[in-house]
């Protein structure tokens, strides 16, 4: 199959998932064409089946707001026609679904049918998508897609709650390549972070408000009072300043590090003992799944789709949004009990297996096959 994939190329979960999907499809022999404004961060090494088409938006004095969506739709048209694509799979509705609708209509005039599949990832529905500024276009373009998928049951239900969707929304959950995350801890690295054998707690995100990183700092402040431990913050974003100033106020600077954006999450996760995810909403929580694949238990909120992956009392614990005290006790109960820690690590790995790439990619292929002409 010749598949066009449109996504955000940055560190966000939707871009990571779309890139990993494209790479896996290419490994299975499909021809994959990424259409984005930058090379996706996880694209990595050369693969003969992967093509990358950059969306260029020309500047012009009149353009206070460069017309990205128009440039994207035009690039889609060129890639569809010049490479005779079989289908277009767009990740994150805004503005990818509406640009895909435009491209579909343009190639239709040229006698070509291009099926469009839209995968909803979370904030394209629950935050920005439902904002009145975007909602009519989002609802229209989702409905005009030939197929719609959502990354969790929760996101499917949220989409129905927020929009009048006339088609079935198929749930195809986020996935992880479990093999890749099975790494032996790099002892020298562990020693640098935790020289006296302290436990290592990790948070990774884009530091947006929705992640409530302040709660991570507060929970860690409670943990460190009982369990000798270190906190690693991976990622960057608007709330990083807040996390930094809170850690100064709480006198935690010697116990934590901000390591910025990292591509080799598997190396970092390999030395971690606990993953904290305090989000106000997560449609799924891919970062938590990657942690579990590396055998790291998770203490998270019970928001959105998180209970679909983090099993309370088994792979970690769930607390209510903002309930710092409960999540602190939960984290301490795992970190202070070696037997429990070992059991939860094992359970986390087993749970991640349910979402292994090998079980999820065929679901996308089956969906694509429904749209191929039968000859």
Binding site for ligand GMT (CB under 6 A): 12-15, 17, 92, 121-123, 151, 174, 206, 208, 210, 281-286
Please say which residue, 43 or 210, places its beta carbon nearer to ligand GMT.
210
Please say which residue, 163 or 284, places its beta carbon nearer to ligand GMT.
284
The verdict on whether omega for the bond into residue 95 sits within 30 degrees of 0, i.e. cis, is yes
| Cα of 256 vs its chain's centroid, Å | 24
**DSSP code of 176?**
B
The CA distances from residue 282 to 126, 168, 312, 356, in Å, are 10, 22, 16, 19
The least CB distance from residue 305 to ligand GMT, in Å, is 7
The least CB distance from residue 183 to ligand GMT, in Å, is 21
The least CB distance from residue 61 to ligand GMT, in Å, is 33
Please say which residue, 281 or 317, places its beta carbon nearer to ligand GMT.
281
Phi and psi at 13, nearest 5°, equal -55, -40
* Distance, CA of 66 to CA of 37 (rounded, Å): 13
**Residue 7 zone, left/alpha/beta (φ > 0; ψ -120 to 50; rest):** beta
Least Cα distance to 364 among 75, 69, 36, 87 occurs for 87
Please say which residue, 85 or 202, places its beta carbon nearer to ligand GMT.
202
As to burial, measured by CB atoms within 10 angstroms (0-12 exposed, 13-18 middle, 19+ buried), residue 17 is buried
Report the residue count for the chain: 375
User: Which H helix or E strand runs over 231?
Assistant: strand 229-234
* Distance, CA of 129 to CA of 94 (rounded, Å): 7
Work out whether the CA dihedral 22, 234, 279, 139 comes out positive or negative.
negative
Nearest residue to ligand GMT, by Cβ distance, number only: 122
Please say which residue, 139 or 155, places its beta carbon nearer to ligand GMT.
155
Please say which residue, 19 or 31, places its beta carbon nearer to ligand GMT.
19
Please say which residue, 31 or 279, places its beta carbon nearer to ligand GMT.
279
Please say which residue, 211 or 230, places its beta carbon nearer to ligand GMT.
211
The CA distances from residue 88 to 99, 130, 134, in Å, are 11, 24, 22
Contacts of residue 353, defined as CB under 8 A and 6 or more positions apart, other chains included, come to 178
The least CB distance from residue 287 to ligand GMT, in Å, is 7
The least CB distance from residue 208 to ligand GMT, in Å, is 6
The least CB distance from residue 113 to ligand GMT, in Å, is 28
The least CB distance from residue 300 to ligand GMT, in Å, is 11
The CA distances from residue 353 to 25, 216, 246, 299, 357, in Å, are 19, 27, 36, 19, 9
The least CB distance from residue 356 to ligand GMT, in Å, is 16
Please say which residue, 124 or 273, places its beta carbon nearer to ligand GMT.
124
The least CB distance from residue 211 to ligand GMT, in Å, is 7
* Distance, CA of 269 to CA of 177 (rounded, Å): 14
């Amino acid at each position: 199959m010749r598949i066009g994939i449109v996504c955000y190329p940055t560190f966000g979960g939707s871009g990571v998932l779309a890139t990993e999907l494209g790479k896996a499809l290419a490994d299975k022999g499909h021809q994959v064409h990424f259409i984005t404004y930058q090379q996706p961060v996880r694209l990595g090494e050369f693969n003969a089946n992967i093509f990358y088409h950059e969306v260029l938006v020309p500047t012009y004095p009149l353009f206070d707001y460069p017309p990205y969506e128009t440039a994207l739709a035009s690039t889609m048209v060129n890639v569809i026609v010049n490479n005779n694509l079989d289908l277009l799979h767009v990740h994150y509705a805004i503005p990818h679904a509406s640009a895909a609708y435009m491209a579909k209509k343009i190639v239709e005039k040229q006698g070509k049918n291009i099926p469009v599949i839209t995968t909803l990832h979370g904030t394209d529905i629950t935050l920005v998508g439902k904002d009145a500024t975007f909602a009519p276009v989002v609802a229209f373009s989702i409905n005009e897609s030939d197929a719609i998928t959502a990354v969790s049951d929760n996101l499917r239900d949220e989409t129905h709650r927020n929009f009048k969707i006339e088609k079935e929304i198929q749930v195809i959950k986020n996935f992880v390549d479990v093999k890749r995350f099975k790494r032996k801890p790099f002892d020298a690295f562990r020693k640098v972070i935790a020289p006296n054998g302290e436990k290592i707690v990790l948070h990774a995100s884009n530091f947006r408000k929705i992640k409530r990183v302040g709660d991570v700092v507060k929970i860690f402040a409670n943990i460190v009072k009982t369990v000798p431990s270190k906190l690693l913050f991976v990622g960057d974003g608007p709330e990083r300043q807040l996390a930094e100033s809170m850690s100064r106020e709480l006198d935690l600077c010697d116990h934590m590090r901000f390591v910025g954006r990292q591509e080799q999450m598997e190396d970092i996760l390999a030395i971690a003992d606990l993953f904290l995810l305090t989000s106000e909403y997560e449609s799924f929580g891919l970062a938590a799944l990657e942690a579990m694949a590396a055998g790291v238990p998770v203490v998270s909120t019970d928001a959105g789709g998180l209970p679909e992956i983090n099993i309370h009392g088994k792979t970690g614990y769930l607390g209510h949004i903002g309930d710092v005290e409960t999540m602190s006790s939960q984290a301490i109960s795992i970190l202070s009990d070696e037997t429990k820690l070992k059991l939860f690590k094992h359970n986390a790995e087993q749970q991640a297996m349910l979402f292994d790439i090998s079980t999820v990619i065929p679901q996308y292929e089956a969906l694509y096959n429904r749209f191929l002409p039968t000859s």
